[in-house]
Amino acid sequence: MDAVLEIENIEVVYNKTVQVLRGLSLTVPRGAIVALLGSNGAGKSTTLKSVSGLLALEDGEVTAGDIRFKGQSLKNRPPEKLVREGLFHVMEGRRVFEDLTVEENLVAATYALSGREDARSRGYELVYDYFPRLRERRRQLAGYLSGGEQQMLALGRALIARPELIMLDEPSLGLAPLLVEEIFEIVARINREQGTAILLVEQNAAVSLAIASYGYIMENGKIVIDGPAEKLTANEDVREFYLGVGGQDGEARSYREIKHYKRRKRWLS
């Protein structure tokens, strides 16, 4: 068994009333980059929060299914323990500590190393090597960084934690295309050089599938299509509805609608 993360048929309910995930499953092999794609409100962030345990802070609950990290079930484990075991969640919107300096943000991330044997070396230099711009701004308040720099800092904090799996929630959010490419290149480098597996949540399917080896597409709380990245990139429906190539009217429609549409066609013929 060489999966670092296995999600099996989970269902998630918020406030004991709103069901958001309906039997979602996915697997991240060790050292791989896996993309989880889907449109607004599909439940991507909810999936990541279920894994990292941050769901409980929002009164959400995994009501069915199982999540395993390195083969062990994650039920009822407090979030900070998971981080210390090597599972790092970079939340949507970067969430840097704005009134802390850049370096203090990195110091905060060293708590991920608590109780580990290799906790001595803190690895700030490694972060500054990947992100030289952060080195220049190390004494500056994180709140004054640009959006791109904040995303770098969020990735830097993940690097400090030396995790086995980084879950990245929409790193491209609100960034200019050039910067998105720069960030994704670094994500790919981190994966290659540090051997860290990455679960990449994105709406931007094109750049994600370019660096991922496998992709899942989710809608309405479950996976609707998955496959190796090249296959997904070549898949016509994916091309039309997620990559914005081909298609008749260029209107964004969901995968579910395609199915309806096909079904309707079948009936008609």
Partner 1 sequence: MDWLFFGEISLAGLAMGGLYALIALGFVIIYKATRVINFAIGEIMMFAAYLFLAFAGGMEMSPWVAVPLAVLGGALLGGVIEKTMIRPMLGESPIAVVMVTIGIASILVGLVELIWTADPQLLPSFLPRQPVFIGELYLAPKIAYGFLIGMAVLVIYLLYFRFSRGGVALRATASDQAAAYSMGINVRRVFNLAWVFGSLAASVAGILVAATGGLSPQFGIIGLSVLVVVIVGGLDSILGALVAGVFIGWLETVAGAYLGGEYRMPATFAVLAVILVFKPYGLFGTHEIERV
From partner 1, ligand ATP, Mg ion, none, which one binds at residue 14 (CB under 5 to 8 Å depending on kind)?
Answer: ligand ATP
Please calculate the CA angle 71-74-77 and round it to the nearest 5 degrees.
140
**Sites of contact with ligand ATP (CB under 6 A):** 14-15, 18, 20, 38, 40-46, 58, 60, 92, 203
How many residues touch partner 1 under the rule CB under 8 A: the total is 32
Question: Which of 36, 161, 207, 218 lies at the binding interface for partner 1 (CB under 8 A)?
Answer: 161
From partner 1, Mg ion, ligand ATP, none, which one binds at residue 66 (CB under 5 to 8 Å depending on kind)?
Answer: none
Closest CB 112 distance from ligand ATP, rounded Å: 23
- Residue 45 within binding range of Mg ion, rule CB under 5 A: yes
Residue number with CB closer to ligand ATP (45 or 191): 45
Contact indicator for 86, 165 with CB cutoff of 8 Å? yes
Stretch that binds Mg ion, among 18-26, 84-92, 119-127, 159-167 (CB under 5 A): 84-92
Would you give the DSSP letter of residue 16? T
Question: Which of 33, 83, 166, 217 lies at the binding interface for partner 1 (CB under 8 A)?
Answer: 83
In angstroms, rounded to a whole number, what is the distance separating the alpha carbons of residues 195 and 82?
Answer: 19
* C-alpha dist (Å) from residue 190 to 155, 211, 217, 225, 265: 10, 12, 24, 27, 46
Closest CB 244 distance from ligand ATP, rounded Å: 16
Residues 6+ apart with CB under 8 A from 45: 92, 169, 170, 201
From partner 1, ligand ATP, Mg ion, none, which one binds at residue 40 (CB under 5 to 8 Å depending on kind)?
Answer: ligand ATP
Please calculate the CA angle 49-179-151 and round it to the nearest 5 degrees.
35
Contact indicator for 161, 129 with CB cutoff of 8 Å? no
Contact indicator for 31, 196 with CB cutoff of 8 Å? yes
- Residue 166 within binding range of partner 1, rule CB under 8 A: no
Residue number with CB closer to partner 1 (98 or 193): 98
